[in-house]
Copies of this chain bind each other. A is one copy, B any other.
Amino acid sequence: MKQSKFFMPTLKETPSDAEAVSHQLMLRGGYVRQVTAGVYSYLPLANRVLSKVSQIIREEMEAIDSSEMMMPELLPASLWQKSGRYDSYGPNLFKLKDRHERDFILGPTHEETFTEIVAQEIKSYKRLPFSLFQIQTKFRDENRPRFGLLRGREFIMKDGYSFASNYEQLDQQYEDMKNAYLKIFARTGVEVKPIIGDAGAMGGSDSLEFGAPAAIGEDTIVYTDSGYAANIEMASSYFVKEENNAPLQDVEKVATPNIKTIADLADFLKISEKDIVKSVVYIADETPVLVLIRGDQEVNEVKLKNLLQVEDLRLATNDEQFELTQVKAGSIGPVGQNFAKEVIADCNVQNMANFVVGANETGFQLKNINLNRDFTPDNFADITVVKEGELDPTGKAELKFTRGIEIGHIFKLGTRYSEAMNAKFLDENGKAQPVIMGSYGIGVSRLLSAIIEQHHDDRGILWPKEVAPFEVHLIQMKMNNDEQTQISEKMYQDLQSKFEVLYDDRAERPGVKFADADLLGAPFRVIIGKKAAEGIVEVKNNQTKEAVELQISEVANYLKNEIG
């Protein structure tokens, strides 16, 4: 492609409203433009990268016999009513009506749509297992779209679905998909950590997230040097129940006027935060639940939600708490409470003795509280947010934190959707069974951001070879030099038959051309300059910044060796 005919509007200045480096570079390089908040146009450069990423995905999916198809984006509400998600998905779901006032949504994901077609078409175990995928525009009405393509309202996903007649088949499909994903990310040049993910949101069991370490990432990846890795929402730390031999002291009610925080309470009572049990009131699908957690720890709402198996979980407001307990927040506690249907304590509370809790009387706390003697929770479970430096669940390695971008996620869905939507097949014995499903996503447009976050310098993008918009950037230094023009045109014709080449034939100063070339970030640059008259051109590797001078006739072979 000749750059004079190519639409690549670069910017000299970094746009002030772009926080993420990837967003800045995509704007400056003429890769994307925002049309409205969280909604972008992919200009030709971004489109070329998207095509390459998509092609890699297609090849790796084909290698595991997953077939591509394409579902609609406009979906009848009835499909999502069947699964229950029409109501439970929340305000991120775009809803609309057609001219006949029938309800539709714009698909943010397609479990229902694929389950429905399998329900209609697959009748026998003989047609299972198989899997399908699509690369498609998705819609999610994010409250705060940001960071360019990292959190958009319209974005491109690869979403895949597997269908099996038994769990061994599902395990195999899940394993194949995991390996294919690792190959895909390796080919796109992005470093990923496969981490334990939250399967709860999709209603399934196992799940694995693929997190690309990057400072701008919105996720915290928890990992150890010995291989443990989990999303902070799912990470656990070492816990063993200890025998507690401390003598149980007598309960004592103390006034704690104007004490608002756990830190203040510990100071006031001259104890450690670890000797306090916080009482937190949640509303779980409209039912109040009392959650108990050690004073220095925080409730992990994802773990709690998965434990309670509810659709909706939120903190009670101060008003709700007061209405339920007649006590001001801070003085609520488990002893003698009767407002909560269920009391859940974090497992670490099991190792505590003679601790402090709210007295269920505004401005008072109880000291020397003990489990079983004074109250008994309905359930102990791991519901804390882990902290950096704690030991991992094996107790052998220290947890480390890093920021990451979620670029892929695979789930064992089991029968969550097939049961809700009556997708059944007849097994070997002629008995109807729900299809066993998996779901497998890659954030395709988000992957672009992740690649750039990991591959850039202060002048532009350093594209990995397999996903670069062009492999070779051919730059003619002076457009009014006939010799250079002749050599460049010939070089362009030759290289174009072997590589993807952008030929900068614009009547611009070399400085402008080089600045744009930095922003574009093709892996190799061929510069036709002064020495062209002597038959010599410069070839520069954009990753290593190394440049070599070559005879014109050597260029194609040199690039062939480098690019492969």
Contacts and interface: CB of A to CB of B under 8 A. Distances in A.
A26 to B, nearest CB: 13
Contact of A154 (B68, B73, B130): B73
A402 interface: no
A195 to B, nearest CB: 30
Given A44-B67, A154-B74, A35 B130 contact: no
A309 to B, nearest CB: 27
Contacts of A79: 35
Contact of A99 (B71, B75, B91, B130): B91
A514 B79 CA distance: 35
Interface stretch (A137-145, A209-217, A254-262): A137-145
A69 interface: yes
B143 A72 contact: no
A17 interface: no
Given A74-B153, A76-B35, A69 B7 contact: yes
B42 A69 contact: yes
Copies per complex?
Answer: 2
A564 B115 CA distance: 40
A187 to B, nearest CB: 20
B67 A113 contact: no
B7 A67 contact: yes
Nearest to A116: B35
Interface in A47-74: 47-48, 50-51, 62, 65, 67-74
B130 A41 contact: no
Interface string A139-162: 101010000000001100000000
A94 interface: yes
A96 interface: yes
A70 B42 contact: yes
A6 interface: yes
A271 interface: no
A1 interface: yes
A36 interface: yes
Provide the main secondary structure of the chain A interface: mixed
Contacts of A106: 74, 96, 106
Nearest to A43: B69
Nearest to A76: B36
A363 to B, nearest CB: 40
A74 B7 contact: no
Contacts of A91: 99
Given A50-B70, A153-B74, A35 B113 contact: yes
B68 A47 contact: yes
Interface residues of A, number: 58
A35 B117 CA distance: 9
Interface string A4-42: 011101000000000000000000000001011001111
A39 B105 CA distance: 13
Given A41-B69, A41-B113, A94-B98, A75 B35 contact: yes
A82 to B, nearest CB: 13
A324 interface: no
Nearest to A123: B9
A125 B74 CA distance: 40
A68 B134 CA distance: 20
A73 B1 contact: no
A560 interface: no
Contacts of A121: 7, 9, 33
A531 interface: no
A92 B98 CA distance: 9
B5 A130 contact: yes
B33 A67 contact: no
B99 A1 contact: no
B70 A117 contact: no
Contacts of A65: 1-2, 5
Interface of A: 1-2, 5-7, 9, 33, 35-36, 39-44, 46-48, 50-51, 62, 65, 67-76, 79, 91-92, 94-96, 98-99, 106, 113, 116-117, 120-122, 126, 130, 132, 134, 137, 139, 141, 143, 153-154, 507
28 contacts: A1-B62, A1-B67, A2-B65, A5-B65, A5-B67, A5-B130, A9-B122, A33-B120, A35-B72, A35-B75, A36-B75, A36-B76, A39-B72, A41-B70, A42-B71, A43-B69, A44-B69, A46-B69, A46-B70, A47-B67, A47-B68, A73-B137, A74-B106, A74-B139, A74-B153, A96-B96, A98-B141, A99-B141
Given A1-B62, A44-B67, A106-B106, 4 more contacts: A7-B132, A41-B69, A74-B139, A95-B96
